[in-house]
Structure 1
Amino acid sequence: MGLSALFRRKPHERAGFELYGAAVAAARDPWFFGALGVPDTLDGRFDLVGLHAALLIRRLRRDPDPRGAALAQAVFDAMFADMDINLREMGVSDLTVGKRVKRMWEAFHGRAQAYEAALESADAAALAAALHRNVWRAEGEPGEAARRLAAQALRAADALAAQPFDALLKGQARFPAPEEAADAG
Structure 2
Amino acid sequence: MFKSRPSKKASEALYAQAVAQARHPAFYLELGAPDRIDSRFELYTLHVMLLILRLRDEGPVGADAAQDLFDTYASALDNTLRELGVGDVSVGKKMRKLGEALYGRMLAYEKAVRADDADALAQALTRNIVEAEAPTPGMHALADYAFRTRQALAEQPFDGVMSAPAWPEPILASA
| Shorter-normalised TM range | over 0.9
Determine whether 1:54 maps to 2:49.
Answer: yes
Q: Which amino acid aligns with 2:139?
A: A
Instruction: Map 1:1-185 onto structure 2 (within 5 A).
Output: 4=1, 7-10=2-5, 12-64=7-59, 66-139=60-133, 141-169=134-162, 171-178=163-170, 181-182=171-172
1:63, CA displacement in angstroms?
A: 2.0
Counterparts of 1:162 and 1:95, CA distance in 2: 45
Counterparts of 1:81 and 1:61, CA distance in 2: 20
Counterparts of 1:120 and 1:183, CA distance in 2: 21
> Which has the larger Rg?
1
TM-score w.r.t. the length of structure 2 is 0.92
Q: Which amino acid aligns with 2:38?
A: D
Deviates more, 1:45-54 or 1:80-89: 80-89
1:114, CA displacement in angstroms?
A: 1.0
| Alpha carbons 2:138, 2:172 under 8 Å: kept | no
Residue deviations 1:48-85, cap 9 Å, x none? Answer: 11111111111111223x21011001111111111111
Counterparts of 2:120 and 2:161, CA distance in 1: 28
Q: Which amino acid aligns with 1:72?
A: A
Counterparts of 1:53 and 1:184, CA distance in 2: 26
5+ residue gaps, structure 2, are: none
TM-score w.r.t. the length of structure 1 is 0.88
Counterparts of 2:164 and 2:28, CA distance in 1: 25
1:136, CA displacement in angstroms?
A: 1.5
Counterparts of 2:96 and 2:141, CA distance in 1: 30
1:165, CA displacement in angstroms?
A: 0.8
| Alpha carbons 1:62, 1:68 under 8 Å: kept | yes
| Alpha carbons 1:38, 1:44 under 8 Å: kept | yes
State the number of aligned residues.
175
| Alpha carbons 1:22, 1:174 under 8 Å: kept | no
Q: Percent identity?
A: 45
Q: Structure 1 stretches (4+) deviating beyond 6 angstroms? A: none
CA RMSD of the aligned region, Å?
A: 1.6
5+ residue gaps, structure 1, are: none
